[in-house]
Structure 1
Amino acid sequence: MNAIERSSQITERLVAIYPDRRPLLVFESPYQLVIAVILSAQTTDAQVNVVTPGLFARFPTPGALAGAPQREIEKIVHSTGFYRTKARNIIAAAKAIHERFGDGVPELMEDLTSIPGVGRKSANVVRGVVYGLPSIVVDTHLSRVTNRLGLVSESNPAKIEQLLRKVVPEDVQTDFSMGINLHGRYCCSARKPDCQGCVLRDLCPFDPT
């Protein structure tokens, strides 16, 4: 079985056990997703979901957030960590979305990554979730699980994305990414992976001992 066939089988199994592969971040618009993804750096999605309802109630549009006082935003997002940097980034991101993209979130990678606080991982989340475009979302879970599966042997996120795009069929790349992310959270954890209960056990060379 070659790598493309393996990745297809992996995706098929993950889709079956994780039928709901939407992001755990709560959002109601592309703008909200961009802001939530920026806030999710170095914290949990659950913690972001605690602060975003109040944030978006107070600043419901990119234009509103673009003009917000940074100190006020810092207080709202304080519990997500790195609050000064995050406050500065989400204000700047909102300003870019408002002024450069007419309050719409762009779909091109180069446009998305030109928004402050948005890197390739965040851009791929938006492209996959909002626009349904093929996306490889390289986070810590995907990096760990795909290395254990032997699909890659690499730690650099950009190189992981490049390698996986070659072996994961384009039409399932987003499902693959979201499924791997969930599997990394709930089964293939960093410290104590549940290899005995893993649906990918026969496809995985990883030895936890």
Structure 2
Amino acid sequence: MPTTHPGLLTDTEHGLTQAQDAQDAATVELAALKQKILDHGPDAVTAQELADAASQVEHAALATSHARNALEAAHQADRQQQLEALKDNILNTAGSPDEAVEAMRKLEEAAAYLIAMTSGRPQLIAQGTANMRRLAVPQATAGRAADGHAGLGWYDAGLGRSDGLLIDGRNITSLNPGILIAAAITRAARSQGYTTHHLAPALDINTPGGQAVDDPETYLRTRY
């Protein structure tokens, strides 16, 4: 859309003022000629002079109307420009629905991945423990698998932890996907300067343990 020149309104307003001044002057001149005829008789002013003065008034009036229309058009153009700028600002701030749909899709995929990868862990750990026991793999002690068993170990639940497996130093234990998802959403809210309370009542999150939020990589690497 064409941009209104910064001085367009001022110039147009000045043009209207000039046209009105010219109309006023022509009106005064015509009135003076009429009064001259009344005071001194018809011979004081010729018919042509009177006609010319009347024509000048009409011309000046039309010029004033034109200037007024031009000013109104300039105001409308300026208003339209402001409306377009407002619209652009609102749309840019609101963002694209396509981008929102894509973001929701990615969030859905990420949540589905975490749910899928953690939901089968209790069964995996139970079966893994049973198989290790069958193969005479001893229980891990102090978080370490016994030597001579291909880096394999297992341990029972206790002291605030669930059953788990050790594989070459990697700790595989049960995980609640809700904790991971809640931690990710909590971090997302914090990154935007919000708390999870801003998500209520649609989403009611009881913030999980500190490490899952503050250091998710360490939290996962010591459990995943």
> Under TM normalisation by the shorter chain, which class is it?
under 0.3
Q: TM-score, normalised by structure 2?
A: 0.24
Q: TM-score, normalised by structure 1?
A: 0.25
Whichever structure has more helix as a proportion of its residues is: 2
More RCO (CA 8 Å, sep 6+): 1
Whichever structure has more strand as a proportion of its residues is: 2
Q: Could you say which structure has the larger radius of gyration?
A: 2
